[in-house]
Each structure stands twice: as C-alpha cells, then as structure tokens.
Amino acid sequence: MYLNSNSNINIILITAIAARIILVIRAARIILVIRSVYCTINHRLVVVLCQYSKQKRSTSNNKKVHIICTKSYHMATVSSVSALSICAACGKEEDGDTKLKFCTACKLVKYCSRDCQIAHRSQHKKACKKRAAELRDEALFKEVEPEECPICFLPQPLDNQSTFYSCCGKHICDGCVYAMEMSEGKDLCAFCRTPPTTSIAEEIERTKKLMDKGDAYAHNFLAYSYALGLRGMPQDYQQSFKFYLKAGELGCTEAYYNLGASYENGDGVEIDTKKAKHYWELAAIGGDIHSRHNLGCIEYNAGNYDRSLRFFISAARAGHKASLDKVKNGYMSGLGLVTKEDYESTLRAYHERQKEMKSDARDEAATAYAAAQL
Ligand SMILES: [Zn+2]
Ligand SMILES: [Zn+2]
Ligand SMILES: [Zn+2]
Ligand SMILES: [Zn+2]
C-alpha cells in the first residue's frame, strides 16, 4: 500500500513536470513565430521605404534586422544599407558628424571608417569582386560620345586627321585647318587666330604654359616629342612615360593608348603585353577606339571570341573600319559568334558615324594634302 501510494505520487509529479516542459516549449515556439513575423515585416518595411521614400530608419532597427535575418533577406538588407546611408559594418547612420563613403570598387555599400571596411571585408569580398568586374565591363564597352572639332563641331576623324595647337590647346580637324589656309588668315590658328610660332623653342614654351594650366593634350604632345626625339627634345623615354601618365590622368585617352603601344612594341621598355592591355583598357574606358580594337585582337588571340567581338562591335559602331571587318568575319563564319541582328545594327551605326565625320572641307583637305605628299 505504502509502495503503491508512493509510486502514485511519483507519477503525478512526473506528469506535472512534463506538462510544464510542454508549456515552455509551446511558449518558446510562439516567441519564435512572433520574432520571425517581426523580422519579415521589418525587412519588407525597409525595402519598401528604400524604394518609395527617402525616409531613414533608425540604426538600431537595421542592426537588429541584420542580426536575426535569414539568408534570403540578406541581399535586401545589403541594398537597404547603401540606399539608407548606413555603414554596412556597424550600422551607424550618416549625420553631421558621420560621413559615409562608398566602397570605391563596387559602389554597393558604404562605410563610416576604414576600420569598418576592413572588418566587413571577408563578408563583402565576393559580391564586391563580382560587381566591380561588371562595372569595369560596363565602362569598357559603353558607347562614348565622340570628341568634336571645336570649330565645325563634327566628330573628330579617327586617323590623325587633326592637329594640336599649342596656342589654345585645341585639336582642329584637317577640314578646318585647310579652310583657314585657303582664307585670308592663312597661317593663323583657326580657333584663336594666334599667329604661328617662329621657333621650336617658342612652340615648347607655349606647350609648357598649357601644361602648367593642367592641359591633358599638352602633356601628351610633350611626351610624344620626348618619345620620338622631336621638336628639339632629346629622345627620353623616362620623360615621355612621365608625361604620358600625367596626360592620361588628366583625361587624354590617346596618352594611355600611346603607353599601351610602347609596352606592346617595347619602345623604351621591355615588351609586356599585360601592361599594354592595362593601358589600352584605361584608354578604352575613356572611349579610345583604337585601344578597343587592339583589345579585341588580344582577346581573340587568347581564344576569348565573345569578348573580342564585343570590343570589335563597340569600335566598329564608332566608325572603325578594321573592327567592322572583324565583325563581318565573325558573322560570315557561320559559327554564331555574331548574329544577323548584331551585324546589321553594327553596320548601320558604322555608316551613321562615317557620315557624321564627313564634310566637304575634310574631303578637300584630304585631296589637297595627299597631292602635296606626291
Ligand atoms: Zn561603421
Ligand atoms: Zn565593394
Ligand atoms: Zn573642324
Ligand atoms: Zn589657337
């Protein structure tokens, strides 16, 4: 009896404890469900606010969201972080005291400090690298507005049919130079009407004055003179590289093209195709057509046919004949490298640009200068 009564008490106790455990588990589940619903609503709110309003969320909310969010919400949080001007690492919000800076490689996220950027690196590295490569390609193949002659406003011809003037730093197309030569002004600069220099020393002095004002083309002009030992300058590759680099930094894509050509040909340096590619890429980003063509050839030789044709198509669309021939070969090969639509559209753009670059004055100049060389 005693034994029986004792065992009954034990059973009651065990049952009571089990009931409590079940209650605790249920309560925990309810808390988890509420937490999950809160997380979902919070994320949705952040994304909606990002898209439709400039209103900022509090830092603490975003921090919490980021900590408890599941993987599927991660990208939404990343885009929200940049759109809402919040440090991607610590969640600090931009205000009068805190200035956030974009990750310069990908422009996807912002940071409040170098330390935060370093702390976030392992998490961000993969997405950053992918986006940075996409951005670089966008820039490499982007259609760039052509440089225009400052007098006739037509796109500059592609084959050195323009002249740099050290008086005003302008590139003037052969058509406008020839028209000036045929007029009463004769030798005057067709743009600023300055008389020509009377000596090489004066030409270099004018160029240096423009360089002091930060003129990119004047830097390129002097660099070229050093590279070839022209205009009284000694042939000095060290000087020419220094001024080509400065010209490129100041926005002269031709200078980067020249640097690439120097590495390709071994002019004053060891032949280095990787460096040639690097400088041609910098020039191509600025819209240099000859560099895009050369990059197409490099990719073609490396067996990257799709990429090479992207370069050829972008150069052909800007009026480059040799690139158009490559695109035509790609289409005619029948290997599907260039579709009929792509070829037709490239051909149309090529003829359009050729038409834009053409003028009676330029045709007359070409005929006259060709005759003078005979
Ligand atoms: Zn931070
Ligand atoms: Zn980045
Ligand atoms: Zn012109
Ligand atoms: Zn001038």
Which residue reads 């004066």 in tokens? 202
Q: What is the mean pLDDT of residues 49-67?
A: 34
Which ligand ends up closest to the CA of 98? Answer: 1
Cα 187 to ligand 3 centre (Å)? 16
Comparing C-alpha atoms, which of 123, 86, 87, 129 is closest to residue 106?
A: 129
Q: Is the pLDDT score of 259 beyond 60?
A: yes
Confidence of residue 290 (pLDDT cuts 50, 70, 90): very high
What is the rounded CA–CA span in Å between residue 116 and residue 91? 10
What is the predicted pLDDT for the residue at 325?
Answer: 97
What is the predicted pLDDT for the residue at 31?
Answer: 66
Which ligand ends up closest to the CA of 150? Answer: 3
Give DSSP secondary structure letters for 241-304: HHHHHHHHHTT-HHHHHHHHHHHHHTSSS---HHHHHHHHHHHHHTT-HHHHHHHHHHHHHTT-
What is the rounded CA–CA span in Å between residue 228 and residue 237? 9
What is the predicted pLDDT for the residue at 135?
Answer: 94
Q: pTM score, two decimals?
A: 0.73
What is the rounded CA–CA span in Å between residue 256 and residue 234? 21
Which ligand ends up closest to the CA of 117? Answer: 1
What is the predicted pLDDT for the residue at 30?
Answer: 67
Which backbone phi and psi does 194 adopt, to 5 degrees?
A: -80, 135
Cα 107 to ligand 2 centre (Å)? 6
Cα 113 to ligand 2 centre (Å)? 14
Q: Is the pLDDT score of 50 beyond 70?
A: no
What is the predicted pLDDT for the residue at 8?
Answer: 62
Cα 63 to ligand 1 centre (Å)? 11
Which ligand ends up closest to the CA of 62? Answer: 1
Cα 311 to ligand 3 centre (Å)? 28
Q: Is the pLDDT score of 65 beyond 90?
A: no
Cα 143 to ligand 2 centre (Å)? 25
Helix (H/G/I), strand (E/B), else coil: 198: coil
Q: Is the pLDDT score of 84 beyond 90?
A: no
**Residue pair 157/362 in contact by the 8 Å Cβ criterion:** yes
Cα 179 to ligand 3 centre (Å)? 9
Q: Which residues surround ligand 3, an ion (CB under 5 A)?
A: 149, 151-152, 173, 176
Q: Which residues pair with 102 in a beta bridge?
A: 110
Q: What is the mean pLDDT of residues 53-67?
A: 33
pLDDT, tens digit, 9 for 90 and up, residues 139-187: 999 999 999 999 999 999 988 899 999 999 999 999 999 999 998 767 8
